[in-house]
């Protein structure tokens, strides 16, 4: 496995591939994404442990959605079991994925607490609370880069958790041009769809109708976005040795 550097315009191609793959299996991919969201919502209701468990499952869930995208890209119907691909790849890789989950949970908690501390926490005014949220997102940025490819590197290439985090960040930074184009393209897609439905809602039934339609539409766009993540991984890394056979569910070609 080696790092691959791609031109900035590849970011647009990632978006197109995500949309095209989603269109092949819209019901399956949307359903799997909604299943993941439902689990997140249920876990969020659990006091204390819900947040911890939810954070620990983020890398495995990310891999599951990428595996579903891989299945759809091959023209196959991704079954619900693909979401637990991370836990069907042998003990060593399961432990590595769980370790990624622990690291993510602790690092995310640290970033959130640091933002609250720096911005005054719960005792701050409304404006300062907004500032804390923005600062928390900023502090999470390195975390997002480290975990963007890490689950896939652990699952599909057997990279250790520490190295996977390092390689993921390096890949994102070295391909920053493509990722900026990728992010801006998705932002424009979300804004364009929002404007269209906002106008249609205003013409048909007012703001209430627009809001009612926008929620499922936003979730569908989020599902498309999650589908496109798989293609960022395929282009950022090149396998130098054949993957072992038989492959785990959702293994890329």
**pLDDT tens track for 197-253:** 777 766 776 677 777 778 888 889 999 999 999 999 999 998 765 544 434 444 554
| Spatial CA neighbour of 111 closest among 141, 82, 84, 89 | 141
Q: Check residue 126 and give its pLDDT.
A: 46
Task: List C-alpha distances in Å: 191 to 17, 41, 107, 199, 202.
Answer: 19, 25, 31, 12, 16
Can you give the pLDDT at residue 243?
47
pLDDT score recorded for residue 196: 84
Query: To 10 degrees, the CA torsion angle through 217, 219, 221, 226?
Result: -170
CA torsion angle 215 187 141 222 (round to 10):
40
Task: Give the mean pLDDT of 82-87.
Answer: 91
> How many CB atoms are located within 10 Å of the residue 91 CB?
8
| Token pair listed for 167 | 């390689």
Report pLDDT digits (tens) over 183-196.
999 999 999 988 88
Helix axes 207-236, 26-44, angle to 10 degrees: 100
pLDDT of amino acid 130: 63
C-alpha torsion angle, residues 138, 142, 148, 154 (rounded to 10) = -150
Reported as type and span, the H/E element at residue 3 is strand 2-3
49 or 19, which is more confident: 19
pLDDT mean across residues, the chain: 85
CA distance 29 to 229: 13
Query: Between 161-174 and 150-157, two packed helices, what is the crossing angle to 10 degrees?
Result: 120
Q: Per-residue pLDDT for 158 more than 80?
A: yes
Alpha carbons within 13 angstroms on the beta-carbon side of residue 69 total 28
pLDDT of residue 71: 93
Q: How large is the average pLDDT for residues 25-49?
A: 88
Residue that wins the pLDDT comparison between 241 and 63: 63
Domain boundaries, the chain: 2-238
Closest CA to 100 of 152, 145, 150: 150
* pTM assigned to the model: 0.84
Q: Is the pLDDT of residue 69 over 90?
A: yes
- In the chain, the percentage of residues whose pLDDT exceeds 70 is 87
Rounded distance between C-alpha atoms, residue 122 and residue 116, angstroms: 7
pLDDT digits (tens, 9 = 90+) for 105-134: 999 989 888 888 887 654 444 444 467 678
Beta strand spans in 5-161 (E): none
Above 60 in pLDDT, residue 98?
yes
Predicted pLDDT of residue 121: 53
Place of tokens 């926008």: 214
């Amino acid at each position: 496995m080696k790092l691959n550097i791609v031109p900035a315009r590849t970011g647009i191609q990632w978006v197109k591939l995500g949309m095209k793959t989603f269109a092949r299996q819209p019901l399956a991919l949307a359903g799997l994404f909604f299943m993941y969201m439902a689990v997140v919502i249920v876990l969020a209701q659990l006091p204390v442990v819900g947040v911890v468990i939810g954070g620990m499952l983020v890398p495995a869930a990310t891999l599951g959605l990428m595996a579903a995208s891989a299945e759809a890209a091959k023209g196959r119907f991704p079954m619900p079991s693909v979401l637990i691909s991370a836990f069907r790849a042998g003990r060593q890789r399961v432990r590595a994925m769980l370790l990624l989950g622990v690291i993510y949970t602790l690092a995310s908690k640290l970033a959130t607490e640091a933002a609250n501390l720096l911005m005054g926490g719960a005792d701050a005014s409304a404006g300062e609370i907004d500032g804390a949220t923005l600062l928390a997102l900023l502090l999470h940025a390195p975390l997002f880069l480290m975990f963007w490819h890490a689950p896939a590197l652990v699952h599909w290439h057997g990279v250790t958790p520490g190295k996977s985090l390092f390689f993921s960040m390096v890949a994102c930074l070295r391909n920053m041009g493509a990722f900026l184009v990728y992010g801006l393209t998705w932002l424009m897609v979300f804004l364009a769809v929002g404007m269209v439905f906002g106008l249609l809602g205003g013409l048909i039934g007012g703001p209430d109708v627009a809001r009612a339609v926008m929620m499922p539409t936003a979730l569908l766009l989020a599902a498309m976005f999650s589908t496109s993540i798989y293609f960022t991984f395929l282009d950022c890394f090149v396998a130098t040795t054949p993957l072992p056979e038989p492959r785990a569910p959702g293994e890329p070609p």
